[in-house]
Structure 1
Amino acid sequence: MARPFDALSPQRRRLVVGLLVGVGALVLALVATTVVRGLTRGGPVPQDQPGPVLLVPGYGGRTASLDPLAAVLRAEGRDVTVVSLLGDGTGDLDAQAAHLADVADDVLRTSGAPSVDVVGYSAGGVVVRLWVRDHGGGEQARRVLTLGSPQHGTSVAALGAQVAGGCPTACEQLLPDSALLRRLNAGDETPAGPEWATVRSGADQVVTPTGSAALAGALNVLVQDVCPTATTSHYALPADPVVAATVRSTLGAGPPAAPATGCG
């Protein structure tokens, strides 16, 4: 009996075989992703087992801004991944959250850890919240710490959009009362799953008002409550001693706590 391939030329046989191999590889990748997400879901992760740390940069995606935090965490013996955002880091924040989900899957698969801790700086903190709420992060994150994140928007984005007659997608999404933020902040701002903490500075002139960076239900740390003389700007947050102390006091094995000191 003739087989289907018998009527094909050798060149076409190779083409068909190549296509089948490609399809098979794609199916295996999808199955692996599904298995990883399935294994990391189903209940709260262990809070006393710190795992790898993901650092998510802010608007524009400049990963080097997180080098000081990466150094602090690596000195504590933590495995750190600085997440590279899609494109130039000014695109749709929800797409960035879906990308973060892929990165978390990869880190959990390669490390074998039961969870990740995630630090989101500036707009990266909004990306982390979207990941937790809409992209499976609630079953993978043990701790979430956001730094100077415009969780309720910033008037600076509104001013920039007004002056320029519009701004990139992520900028539009960070306008106070944007559709994305209304949806994200409806109901519980810190949904069950991870333990939540935020840090903000009273001297931040990018996220205004600075209270926008606080979340209901989180441990909210104001830099000046820990170090009254601090004049930490938005861009200085990743290298600030209070932030470093908060990273240590919130991402350890014990319950998250505000640092007792941190002026340097």
Structure 2
Amino acid sequence: MFVSGYLSPSGCWGSLFRQLHQNGFRNTTCLQYSSLRTGIPEIADVLVDETSAAMRRSGTDGVHLIGYSLGGLVVRYAVQQLGLDTDTVTATTIATPHRGARLAYAGLGPAARQMRTSSSLLDDLPEISSSGRVRWSLVGSTSDRVVPISSATAGGHADAVSLSAGGHLGILDSPQLAHTVMSHLGSCETERRHPEKLAS
């Protein structure tokens, strides 16, 4: 399940979609929402419903969530506050302002306000856990001028990955990103399907 960013079209995922399909992840969908009229909690509510519907359609017992920029905060809110952790295998956030972004002060709508560095919504979110049910991956770019790497990686979280390629928009087309996401999803799927390998 993909969650796009602030004012980002669903087509922004083209490169990563292709990589996923080529590697066997073919049940993919992208959440549609208005980032100008809707706040993060409301978008997260829709994500929970759409994820449940997508899982029923595909007959799967778990979901991989991938959120870009604002979409990563939607993923985080749904997992941490709305109980989506029970169905989530992995949660990947890409160029997401976990600690806010100064440029969000120039944005319009409730979601933009909630991405600001002074946001009470961000302050109220719990820290991301490395030991819980969900396997996280926080990906950021050192070339990103919109979301600083310190914010995208939640201050250098244990589950963070810093890339050198691509700025805030270009990161989605980066081969480094595709490799990072595929490695994360692939290793987690191997652990799910072959837990005996962990014990050996």
TM-score range, shorter chain: 0.7 to 0.9
Q: Among residues 49, 55, 73, which one is paired with 2:2 in the alignment?
A: 55
1:199 and 2:144 are equivalent in the alignment: no
Contact 2:31–2:50, Cα closer than 8 Å, also in 1: no
Gaps of 5+ in 1: 1-53, 162-166, 225-229, 256-264
CA contact 1:59–1:89 (8 Å) conserved in 2:
yes
Give the corresponding residue for 2:171. 237
SS in 2 for 1:110: helix
Aligned residues: 186
TM-score computed with the length of structure 2 as normaliser: 0.86
Instruction: Give the Cα separation in 2 of the matches to 1:128 and 1:251.
Output: 16
Alpha carbons 2:35, 2:109 under 8 Å: kept:
no
Query: Quick one: structure 1 residues 110 and 80, their matched pair in 2 at CA, closer, same or farther if it must change by over 3 Å?
Result: closer
SS at match of 1:206: coil
Structure 1 residue matching 2:52: 3-state secondary structure: helix
* 1:82/1:110 CA distance change after superposition, 3 Å: closer
| Residue in structure 1 matched with residue 198 of structure 2 by the alignment | none
2:117 is the alignment partner of 1:183: no
Q: Which amino acid is the alignment partner of residue 121 of structure 2?
A: L
- Given that residues 149 and 162 in structure 2 are in contact (C-alpha distance below 8 angstroms), is that contact kept between their aligned partners in structure 1? no
**Aligned partner of 2:161: which letter?**
V
Provide the identity percentage. Answer: 29
Provide structure 2 residue ranges, at least 5 long, that are not aligned to the other structure: 192-200
Contact residue 195 and residue 218 of structure 1 kept, 8 A: no
Deviation for aligned residue 1:130: 0.5
Question: Which residue identity lines up with residue 89 of structure 1 in the other structure?
Answer: S
Distance 1:80 1:239 in 2: 20
The question of 1:101 aligning with 2:61 is answered no
SS at match of 2:67: strand
Secondary structure of the structure 1 residue equivalent to 2:179 = helix
| TM-score, normalised with respect to structure 1 | 0.66
Question: Runs ≥4 in structure 1, deviation > 6 angstroms?
Answer: none
Match of 1:170 among 111, 114, 127: 111
The alpha carbon displacement at 1:68 in A equals 1.1
2:62 matched residue in structure 1: 115
Question: Secondary structure of the residue that 1:151 maps to in structure 2?
Answer: coil
* Per-residue deviation, 1:111: 1.6
State the superposition RMSD in angstroms.
1.7
Tell me the distance in 1 between the aligned counterparts of 2:129 and 2:18.
28
Match for residue 150 of structure 2?
Answer: 211
